[in-house]
Structure 1
Amino acid sequence: MSRGRCVRPAELVLAGELLLLDPAGVLFWPKRRMLVVADLHLEKGAAFARRGVMLPPHDTVATIERLELALERLAPEIVVSLGDGFHDREGPRRLPPELAGRLRRMTCAREWLWVRGNHDPEPPAELGGTGVGEVAFGELVLRHEPEEASNCIEIVGHLHPRAKLRLGRRTARLGCFVTDGRRLVLPAFGAFTGGLNVLDEAFGRILAWDFRTYVLGQTTCRRVARDLLLHEPSLSRQAVETVGV
């Protein structure tokens, strides 16, 4: 339960393991009591402000609040942050003391693994948790970026998948999970992370054509038919960097 509302995740079996695709945008592995979250990009607003690009300064607060709610509801014993926990390597030092304390309480209350990402190659040692390159459980490998030549079954982040949907006369752009049974890509969790359309060629390089898309709602995560997905113009390199990929 979450604030009186029934939360209904989608179920997915990957490498013989039951995984729950939670509408909060996190993956929950019941057998291991493990929560997996991707691309927090904490302190992104502050990083952009230093470069003269002014974003509202509340992204870290919003992201931490949502993460606290997910942890309270799902009560994991292990958390894996799939890379880009911070938007850059200076992010942990810019974190306000009050927010640093809240994050430290999360990391110290359970086993916490920071997978290294392309934005944060070094884990924030002063904030608790353990830095790792990737995490393997049998056939399943959890890493930040997908490896095109990988023979493993991957759970990854990095690409920030979003689906543009046709809903009658309207369209909607929603965060989503995408999978082809060999690779599962998690949505970006951070408040200002943006996203990349699941029909972009970047997904075509790593997923089979008949991949499945599960979009996030307020209380549900649901699979949507491919014919509801709409293309968008490919992002320029500058736009991709703005998204945070």
Structure 2
Amino acid sequence: MTTFPFPFSGTTLTALGTGALWWEDQSLLCISDLHLGKSERHARRGGGPLPPYETKDTLARLSDLIDDLCPKSVICLGDSFDDGAAAQNMTAEDCATLHHLVNHRPWIWITGNHDPQPLAFGGTYHHRYSQGPLTFCHIATSKGSGEISGHYHPKARIKNTTRPAFLVDEHRIILPAFGTYTGGLNCTNPILSTLMQPQALAILTGPRPLPVPMPR
């Protein structure tokens, strides 16, 4: 598994090429923006057809990651479901896969703007969750330190390559989206340029995580 370890708020965290964050000392896996059921929601609202297997693909990649790392706990940073109806309309097979993942370890759901209410998949729900020096939430704030969030689906472009990317500075980390078929916001966008400090890194995901100064 390709990785990029880095210090953050008194801890050592590892950016994985998959777009997940690993806190080895706590055996904690953190992922963001699964957007399960995106294609179903898109079709339900009259959008053009999307390949219907994104939930199965996202869950398969997550299952493989959990099998590899055997985390003691998992945190999902919000927008885990594309909306409440998408969660209810998941296939029986996908529901069984998710129940199996959630019921075998402490599982923490952070509520997001797409899924603000608890859903019937086990685990515990929080708006913000703190462990040690770190605080996990869905949308980054401009205050405090040790904050880990998602929501923006950051991407970075280097030469002719655009990839989902972690954004990291002294105070905060913004994770890329883990879900299949999720879009992305270029890290040159003023929203992200304002949130992130001038010395921020972008860690591009992929076969080999690539840390570069955050493009602006």
Q: TM-score, normalised by structure 2?
A: 0.96
Contact 2:33 2:80 in 1 (8 A): yes
* Structure 2 counterpart of 1:192: 181
Matches within 5 A, 1:176-191: 176-191=165-180
* Structure 2 counterpart of 1:79: 74
Residue identity opposite 2:209 in structure 1: C
Residue identity opposite 2:156 in structure 1: A
Gaps of 5+ in 1: 1-6, 232-245
Residue of structure 2 aligned with 1:223, choices 207, 211, 215: 211
What is the alpha-carbon distance in structure 2 between the residues aligned to residue 131 and residue 74 of structure 1?
Answer: 23
Determine if the alignment matches structure 1 residue 147 to structure 2 residue 141.
Answer: yes
Runs of 4+ in structure 1 over 6 Å off: none
Residue of structure 2 aligned with 1:19, choices 13, 33, 50: 13
Residue identity opposite 2:63 in structure 1: E
What is the alpha-carbon distance in structure 1 between the residues aligned to residue 183 and residue 162 of structure 2?
Answer: 10
What is the alpha-carbon distance in structure 2 between the residues aligned to residue 13 and residue 210 of structure 1?
Answer: 14
* Structure 1 counterpart of 2:42: 48
Residue identity opposite 1:97 in structure 2: A
* Structure 1 counterpart of 2:190: 201
TM-aligned CA deviation for residue 225 of structure 1: 4.4
Matches within 5 A, 1:35-184: 35-53=29-47, 54-125=49-120, 127-148=121-142, 150-166=143-159, 171-184=160-173
CA-to-aligned-CA distance 1:177-225 (integer Å, 9 cap, x gap): 111121100000010111110111110121112210111122x212124
* Structure 2 counterpart of 1:241: none
Instruction: Look up the SS of the partner of 1:194 in the other structure.
Output: coil
Q: TM-score, normalised by structure 1?
A: 0.85
Gaps of 5+ in 2: none
CA-to-aligned-CA distance 1:213-244 (integer Å, 9 cap, x gap): 111122x2121245xx4x7xxxxxxxxxxxxx
* Structure 2 counterpart of 1:234: none
* Structure 2 counterpart of 1:9: 3
* Structure 2 counterpart of 1:3: none
TM-aligned CA deviation for residue 57 of structure 1: 0.8
Q: How many residues align?
A: 215
Residue identity opposite 2:95 in structure 1: A
TM-aligned CA deviation for residue 123 of structure 1: 2.3
Contact 2:145 2:170 in 1 (8 A): no
RMSD: 1.2
Residue identity opposite 1:115 in structure 2: I
